[in-house]
Each structure stands twice: as C-alpha cells, then as structure tokens.
Homo-oligomer: A and B are copies of this chain.
Amino acid sequence: MGKILEIYRSSENCPIRTVLDRIGDKWSILVILILGEEETMRFNELQKSMNDISQKMLTVTLRKLESDGLVHRRIFPEIPPRVEYNLTERGISLLPHIHSLSDWATKNIDGIRRSRAKSGN
C-alpha cells in the first residue's frame, strides 16, 4: 500500500482531493492557463478569450480561484467598473504542472479520439 492511498483513505483531510475538487471543475484550469499567458486581464477580456463561458460561471470560477489564493483580483473604483485579474505566486507555481498535463493532452488527443470512436463515443 503506497503513501498516496493511505492519505486518500483519511479522506476528510486529503490534500489532493481538497485541491482537485476545486481546480477539477469545468473552467478553473482554463482560466489559470490563460492568465499564465496574458499576465493581467480584465473580466471581459477573459470571457472573450474563453469564448463560451457565461458571465455567471466566470464570476463563480474567479471567486473560487481567488479564495484559494491562486488568482488576485484588483478593483479600480471607476464607472463603468474595471477589475483586473492575475495569477498570484501560488497560481504561478501551479502553472508548470497544468502545462505538462495539457502537453500530454495534445500528444494523446488523436489516440483518445480513436478510442472514443471505437467504443461508440
């Protein structure tokens, strides 16, 4: 029995699940990757660059990332409002791991699509 499995069994306090439950949602990883490329972005810029996320889901996603200390939110007291987002130190430290995942995805997507087709999607 490996170390990871033992941690999992005490599932109350399992770090991996605590973290993955959050960034394992539909949009978080995407936001982190985008902010990793663009440094600083405003709300609408982010939304356009994701191109199919709703305002509500972007708000929810950013608030979660903010509360985990992965993304920083800076409000300018202007009208119309201006809010800028960027990765925190912690968010930046997560980037390479997500990049290695997305590199894997790019390399394996053809094989995966073929598998899905065989099994009737």
Contact = CB atoms under 8 A, between A and B. Distances in A.
Interface of A: 1-2, 4-5, 7-9, 11, 15-21, 24-26, 29-30, 33-34, 37-38, 49-52, 66-69, 90, 93-94, 97-98, 100-102, 104-106, 108-109, 111-116, 119-121
A9 B119 CA distance: 28
Copies of this chain per assembly: 2
A48 to B, nearest CB: 9
A15 B109 CA distance: 6
Contacts of A19: 104-105, 108-109, 112
B18 A69 contact: no
Contacts of A105: 15-16, 18-20
A8 B49 contact: yes
Nearest to A105: B19
Contacts of A112: 18-19, 68-69, 90
A68 B116 contact: yes
